[in-house]
Structure 1
Amino acid sequence: MQTHFTDAARERPAIREADRILRTCVHCGFCNATCPTYQLLGDERDGPRGRIYLIKELLESDAGDDQVTRETQLHLDRCLTCRNCETTCPSGVEYHKLLDIGRAEVDRRVGRTPRERALRLGLRTALAEPRRFQALLALGQTFRPLAPAALRDKIPPRPAPRRARPAPERHPRQMLILEGCVQPGLAPNTNDATARVLDRLGIGVRAAREAGCCGAIDFHLNAQAAGRARMQANIDAWWPLIEDGAEAIVQTASGCGAFVKEYGEMLADDPVYADKARRVSELAKDLVEILRKEDLEALVADSPANNAQRLAFHCPCTLQHAQKLGGAVEGVLTRLGFDLTPVRDAHLCCGSAGTYSITQPVLSRQLRDAKLEALEAGQPDTIVTANIGCQSHLDGAGRTPVRHWIELVDERLATSDS
């Protein structure tokens, strides 16, 4: 794609990056074929190719017409950032980076209404701080029966009682685990189950107390400075344990994993954190990357096959498109004897997409209903996934139970002991 930036404009790092990405696009339109919002709305501006043109027009203009840029803002807001288009693109266009640049620029020019600013600040304030989120969640769960229907499906029931994690120091192999921001409140058993499974493999896992939200919520709501500050705080929390020999930083939420793997790139211009961020990204591993290399069969060699429970696996966009790990979880589950049902259109987003289910509720529900229809076609007993956002979003419909896949593995291994 030809661009027309001035030499002065190219002095800005964001414009140089946008220019590089735009020039890789050949506007073939293959991306539209796998874009969830384009499939729903049929509007060129709600597909990747159209959004790329909108961003190009925005960045090449000096000020821009107010109405045009507000329409641009609407179409960029509707993007799920699922990165399905990147998987499809034959030219390797790094669309998500261009989208971040475009969103920041359109917000700078157009701003947000007071209601939008309040919603976005509320989401960042409520979701990114674990203790605050857990307090608000407990309040919501108490009064859930009184909440409006639109809000009720976003308030999950209280999780099952927790079981203790094994002591990590009894193993020479040590890994860090990211607790995250909303997962400790919504599904604390996910990381507990992870610790138990890794313990069986001779791996101790520990969490750095000072580490918190990975920064994705702030960053994708265009509070990028706040997002960078969270990245830096996490690096500070992890670094002593990394120096002490931790061999990996395990993420059980694929959205967090995808983001932490980009710390090195996003902080490459930071003179204090660039080298540390690059090392953190090298150590960042989705849980399935750890398990698929281990001798799982030895753990279940003397137990009967686990064919009684049929599972449908929802592969989050952040796992298959961002981390390029499509099929990895299915492979682990198959090795452990689970019966997996086929899922059509498994490449399409469920509509969770971080805070998308709150900022774009109509589109999000349409995508959720379509995804559940595909997942339930094989009549599974349980739907499993690898990201807390997808898990909560799908489970909120109140249909087939939705859990993190590691919980089923933990139960499978516990059964093999009995």
Structure 2
Amino acid sequence: MPTMPPFFSDRHALEHHQQTRLHAMLGRLAADNAFYRERVNAFLARFPEMGLADFRRAFPFTFKRDLVADQQAFPPYGRNTTEPAHHYTRYCQTSGTTGAPLRLLDTPGSWDWMLSHWLRVYDAAGVRGGERIFFAFGFGPFLGFWTAFEAAQAGGNLCIPGGALNSLGRLQAMAANQTTVLCCTPTYALRLGEVAAQNDFDLDSIPLKVIIVAGEPGGAIPATRRAMRQFWRGARVVDHYGMTEIGPAGYESPHVEGLMHIIESDYLVEVIDPVTEAPASAGERGELVLTTLGREAAPVLRYRTGDLVQLQAPEPHWQTIEWGFPCGILGRADDMVVVRGVNMYPAAVEAVVRRFAVVAEYRVLLEERDAMTEMRLQVEPTDNAEGDWVESLGEALKAEFALRIPIEVVAKGTLPRFELKAKRWTRMG
């Protein structure tokens, strides 16, 4: 049975724990992991009395492309396995939206290690057993779905799967089962609210206390949170962070809204400049780099997540010594688009658009003109949209980005809706 990860109140004790775990894992990988063996042996030859600072400074980064290339060279699963093949009982894969999917195998032990992290996520969200949790997605080969569901079961909650139902059917099932917790993407929490309004469905018939969202940055964007709360009145919105490659790693602070922590007892955390690779200082933005201090069956060392965060040192009112990341994941390093010389991130555009409750859905269209990228925003309004909101939205975008962005209002039902990760940015041509 999974148990919650240990919680440390002293930074020195935490770092001693991390170094002990890391040293033991490196020894294991040097012996049993063909993917990491050469890297680990070369590193330990240079630093036989390895410290955390040595590891952060000198051990090479792992990129997703490294793992994908290894699987292509040694199909189907590659060499990043540490146990005999018959010990592996779980299979998951990445979505493959940016290339070939990455396949991950886990043993019962490494799987329980990840379930223990979801216990921390639930505990920080105030979900501590006896709740009725609705999972508003179909179960594919994606790690987050399965680990969230099984950890909720292990925590003594009634788990209600929502696969094979349409959005109205899910709302009806939530009401019939008197659901108290909803797990979904931020986009889909908004979609359920939209469907409820279109069908005169009373959301107050669902005694929802907590919405746990993941899969895209919107969960920690204040404007998106407010938009969710306009539908789901009284429910607390809680963000979570994880990846198939690293497992469920982040949870939202129970004391500071929108502040994300990484479970540092089980992960070594770094934030670096994605270009220079220099360590970021407190208050700076950078790319999150994680090392798993468990999941030895399928580990990653100094893994370049590609996710951008702002690093903040612990403060007393946080009631934790873990580093914090205000507003959670800010976006992806490779999502940045330069529009007429201005760096644009999808999460930043979302933060402006979601200030306007009259926007039911939106899409960003990108087009190359005269060797420059131009941007156009399509918006689909709600039924009750009125007034000069289009002009106000345009002014808000101009104030934020110093750009005049053309806005096109489209008819109801024109723009696609998303159950999982939303894909709102489209390149034309």
Q: Same fold (TM over 0.5)?
A: no
Structure with the larger strand share: 2
TM-score w.r.t. the length of structure 2 is 0.28
Structure with the larger helix share: 1
TM-score w.r.t. the length of structure 1 is 0.29
